[in-house]
């Protein structure tokens, strides 16, 4: 772990207690937990873009829409009229 920069953050008492419990459970430091959370939350473009795309593609077909013709109507369903 090279190039570590010390910083100060403000947490609520409840957040700090949750971090302490989790650090004990994982046998790691609070700082390591926070670094892991930053890495999981704030992605580095574009290197993480491929990883995010792969995670998204793994979800394809994992859920049922309740409609049996989705594969035939995909253009209509995903067209410009659809607001996500």
Residue 74: predicted pLDDT = 76
pLDDT digits (tens, 9 = 90+) for 22-62: 999 999 999 999 999 998 888 776 667 777 788 888 887 77
The three-state secondary structure class of 67 is coil
| Nearest CA-CA partner of 38 in 17, 9, 16 | 9
Residue 37: predicted pLDDT = 92
Whole-structure pTM value? 0.51
Rounded to an integer, what distance in angstroms lies between the CA atom of residue 80 and that of residue 46? 27
Cβ neighbour number for residue 70 with a 10 Å cutoff: 13
Specify the higher pLDDT residue, 77 or 12.
12
Q: What angle do CA 49, 51, 56 make, to 5 degrees?
A: 95
Residues 6+ apart with CB under 8 A from 9: 34
């Amino acid at each position: 772990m090279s190039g570590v920069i010390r910083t100060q953050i403000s947490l609520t008492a409840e957040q700090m207690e949750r971090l302490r419990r989790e650090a004990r459970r994982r046998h790691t430091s609070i700082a390591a937990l926070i670094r892991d959370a930053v890495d999981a939350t704030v992605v580095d473009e574009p290197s993480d873009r491929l990883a995010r795309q792969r995670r998204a593609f793994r979800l394809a077909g994992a859920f049922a829409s309740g409609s049996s013709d989705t594969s035939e109507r995909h253009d209509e369903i995903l067209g410009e009229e659809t607001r996500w």
